Each structure stands twice: as structure tokens, then as C-alpha cells.
A = this chain, B = another copy of it.
Amino acid sequence: MTYDGPDNADQARLLRLLRDDGPRSRVELGDAAGLTRARLVAEVDRLVALGLVETAGPAASRGGRRSSLLRVAGTVRFAGVTIGPRQIDVAVTDGELSVLARRREPVDVRLGPEATITRTLELLGKVRANLGLGGLTGVGVALPAPVAFREGSPVSPPALPGWHGYGVRDALAAELGCPVLVDNDANVMALGEQHAGTGRAFDDFLYVKLGTAIGCGLVLGGALHRGATSGAGGIAHLRQGDDGPTCACGETGCLEAYCSDAALVREARAAVEDGRSPALAARLAEAGTLTVADVGRATVAGDPAAQAVVRDAARRLGRVLVGLVNFVNPGIVIIGGTAVGLGPTMLAEIRSVVYRRSPPLATGNLPIVLSDLDDTAGVVGAARLASDDVFGAA
């Protein structure tokens, strides 16, 4: 079921309050939105007529007549989708972005956008069928790629060969018949942090996504900042010098070529070849290959070579972060996406670099923390992306 959106900024604010803080009485909602009683009644009536808000059970009495609770209508359903690099992850949420059903399947994005979009639609169909759900109110999609946000299509994505310029948004919207929003995964995960994670308490924060690729989402003044050409947060391919390892993008010396999972594995292999890590050498001999999880386990086990590999990568990232935190002066930096075992060592080194090399005004009270979300940041953030659009002012 698709909806007309709210008519004005007041209605949009009411919807977002109900989404973020849950059911509330009319009085509480009017107070939170700063609306007069008459204005509130008119705007809520309109939202009910639009099918976006409904009355729920009675509110706790404040004395006097008991008022009923308002909440986002139960027919409002969002889907959050993350695509790739190795799986499709689909969740359907209610209007408060609580996950109702979720399903993941492996995918090879190198088969191209058409095949992957078809798989995504099939998976969405299965989740909707399980829920007995007719239509969706809006769908958000995260891609492991730079995304031209207005066009809803990836731009020269190293991780998605053959996807450049493909209209992911339009292809999905044509099939689904509801608003579809597409953004890059770091931005979407930052929205997930803003909705359900540590970022909830901060108007200005940086979310740094590690893992297969490096990205950064900036929430500034309470809103995701995308920049003039939706390239904001593009730290992966900042060149750290004229030499350095070759990156997935084809250049040399990119930050990502020092800090990605593949970079950690490359350096771990080098440590094995140099005879610096008997532990990783044994693992390689046993399994025939090394993964970033192996590096994480060796780090936790105290293998000095593995720890040095992780610290070196974190130090590179920390040096870049010094400039960024002094530049935008966030309230907190949240690090997410690190493989199991790597987080604490990376965090310690990042903190050390940022605090040592910064003037105190911007970093004196700056917390730098690991994300406390489990693997839902992506799908919840994608649902939030959709809801920000549907619950936005006309």
C-alpha cells in the first residue's frame, strides 16, 4: 500500500516523532512538536485521513479524561535492503523501523545489476509473502559503491563491475510501485546508527565503516550530509603518498589499500612469508588460505605480527581522521564494520593517533567508540532512508 506523504513540515515532524519515540498521547506529541492544540488536532486528523497515523490503546492518565495514544499506522511498512558485496540482506519493518522479518541470501554482484535486482525482488517477495504483506510504503537500498543520490545509481564502483550508471532506483521502483531510495552503504549505516545506535544521542557524528571497503557517513546538524555531488564521506581513495599498495580502484596508495580487510590479509601473508608469524603460518598451512577472521583471531591471541599489521592499518586511518574531526568537530566518532577481534586493537591505535596529533578544542572531549549495533545497521538504516523520504515534507 502506497501513501501520499504529509502535506507540510509540521506533519512531517509529527510522523518522525512517532517513528523515533513510539506511541504518544496527543498532549505529549503536541508538546514535543511545539504545536498549539488546534494546530495539532488539524494536522493529526489529516495524517489519520492519509492513513499514516492511527489511534492505539489508551494513554496513561494524567488525571481528567483519558486520552488515546497515537502511533504510526500499522499498515505502514518499510523495507531495508543491503546489496553485496557477497549477499543480499532484506528486512521489512513497521513504521517505527522495528524489524518484522528478515532474510539473507548469498549473491555474486559481478553477475551484473539486472540479475542482482531480480534476485533482490524475489527475496523481497518471499519476505512479504511470509508476512502476508500486500505492498510497501517505501524501500531503501544500500550499495557498496559511490551513489549519485539524485539519480539513484552507482558511480564507477570498483566493487560492482558493470553497474556504473545503472538506474537501480528506477528499476526497483518500477516493479515495486512505491518510493525507492538508493545510497552508499556507509551513509545508510550512519542512518542506522542515528536511528538505533550510539549516534541517536548526537546531532553531529561520523560513522566510519571498515571492512571490505572503507567509507564514512557524516551526520551533521541531525541530518545526513551528502555534499554537492553526493560524494561526501569519500575517504577510501585518498592517496596517502605517491607509492604504496595497489587499490581495487586501480590507483596506488589509497587509504583503502592500507586498511581494508584485503589489505590486512595481504600484510598478514607478507608476515608469514617473512617468517614473522608462526601462528598465521600454521593457519595458512592448515586452511590453504588466510582470511581477515584469521587475522582477528591471531590479534586476539596476542600474535605480535598480526597485532602490528592491525595497528599499522589503524594508524593510517587515524592520521586521516585527525584532519576530519578537527574539520567538522563531531560530537562522537563511531567505528563499525570491523571483523571480529580487530575492533579493540584498531580503536586503541586510532584513539592514540587522534588524541596525540590534534589540538584540544575539537578532540578534548571527543569519544571514539566501536559501534554497538549488531549486523542490523544496514537494513535498519535503509528502512530509515526510505522513511525519511516518505515522512518528509512535500
Residues of chain A having any CB pair with chain B under 8 Å = 9, 146, 155-156, 202-204, 216, 218, 220-221, 223, 225-239, 249, 251, 254, 320, 322-324, 326-331, 357-362, 364-366
Contact B361 A328, beta carbon cutoff 8 Å: no
| Chain B residues closer than 8 Å to A329, beta-carbon distance | 226-234
Q: A146-B361, A327-B327 are in contact. Are A223 and B221 (CB under 8 A)?
A: yes
A213 to B231, CA, bound (A): 29
Secondary structure class of chain A's binding surface, majority of residues = loop
Residue in B156, B234, B326 whose CB lies within 8 Å of A234? B326
**A156 in complex: contacting residue of B9, B156, B237, B361, CB < 8 Å:** B361
Q: How far is the CB of A150 from chain B (nearest CB, A)?
A: 13
Residues of B within 8 Å of A233, CB to CB, are 327, 329
The answer to whether A232 touches B327 (Cβ under 8 A) is: yes
Q: A146 to B329, alpha carbons, bound, how many Å?
A: 12
Whether A202 and B228, one on each chain, are in contact in the complex, defined by CB atoms closer than 8 angstroms, is yes
Closest residue to A216 on the B side, CB-wise?
B327
CB A334 to nearest CB in B, in angstroms, measures 14
Q: In the docked arrangement, what's the CA distance between A231 and B331, Å?
A: 11
Q: Are B326 and A362 in contact (CB under 8 A)?
A: no
How far does the Cβ of A32 sit from chain B's closest Cβ, in whole Å?
A: 16
For the complex, give the distance between the alpha carbons of A227 and B333 in Å. Answer: 13
Q: How far is the CA of A366 from the CA of B365 in the complex (A)?
A: 34
A9–B10 CA distance with the chains assembled, in angstroms? 11
User: With a CB–CB cut-off of 8 A, which chain B residues contact A366?
Assistant: 228
